[in-house]
Structure 1
Amino acid sequence: MLKTAIGRLRWIGNVEGVSYLVLLLIAMPLKYWADIPIAVTITGALHGLLFTLFLLALLHAWIVRKWSFLFVFIAFLSAFIPLGTFFLDARLRKEA
């Protein structure tokens, strides 16, 4: 899976998507309901790193696969929508 540009994009997209869900569904409630702000600090930093890696993988796949700007823009937006990267993964699985 990690041998191709799409495989790397799919893998980091899934990991980034899980980190986003952990941030939204676990760390944020811990911060605001249990008064544990360190959860967001740690999870947010990790998610930021994974988001950056996702963007780099997307850029690499764009160059290698010569995708249209519209497709890459939609893939970029998928990282901002909860579960979006999982829908992107389903689309990329067909292409790989």
Structure 2
Amino acid sequence: MSKLLPTFRIVALLEGLSYILLLFIATPIKYLGDDSQYVKMLGMPHGVLFIAYVVMAIIISSDMKWTTRTMWIILIASIIPFGTFYIDKKYLKKTHAQ
């Protein structure tokens, strides 16, 4: 098990949360309410968290002995709403408990 796994789980949670806030709150406010301040506030933190998620997934993949298929699933989940929560439950939580 990778020493970075607990940190990766936190980054995955925050990345997923920031993505949901950006998609389902900030973007509708931008287009329906003509107010882009929330997209500006959430956009940069989400981008940083997204990059951190991808980089950390690549770094810990060898320690976690992920197959290429698993690695792609974990990376693709970062662009699907609620995907990182699924990854945490299916791939990260059970390995963290060991």
* Cross-structure match for 1:5: 4
The one-letter code of the counterpart of 2:38 is A
* Cross-structure match for 1:88: 87
Residue 11 of structure 1: how far off its partner (Å) = 1.0
**Conserved 8 A contact 1:16-1:51:** yes
Residue 37 of structure 1: how far off its partner (Å) = 1.2
* TM-score, with length taken from structure 1: 0.90
**Conserved 8 A contact 1:14-1:85:** yes
In structure 1, C-alpha distance between the alignment counterparts of 2:95 and 2:75, rounded to whole Å: 17
RMSD: 1.4
**Conserved 8 A contact 1:5-1:64:** no
In structure 2, C-alpha distance between the alignment counterparts of 1:63 and 1:44, rounded to whole Å: 30
Q: Residues 41-62 of structure 1: CA distance to partner in whole angstroms, max 9, x if unpaired?
A: 2211111011011111101211
The one-letter code of the counterpart of 2:76 is L
Deviates more, 1:13-22 or 1:66-75: 66-75
* Cross-structure match for 1:47: 46
**Structure 2 unaligned spans of 5+:** none
In structure 2, C-alpha distance between the alignment counterparts of 1:17 and 1:24, rounded to whole Å: 11
**Conserved 8 A contact 1:78-1:85:** yes
* Number of equivalenced pairs: 94
In the alignment, structure 1 residue 74 sits paired with structure 2 residue 81:
no
The one-letter code of the counterpart of 2:59 is H
In structure 1, C-alpha distance between the alignment counterparts of 2:12 and 2:3, rounded to whole Å: 14
% same residue: 32
Residue 80 of structure 1: how far off its partner (Å) = 0.8
* Cross-structure match for 1:17: 16
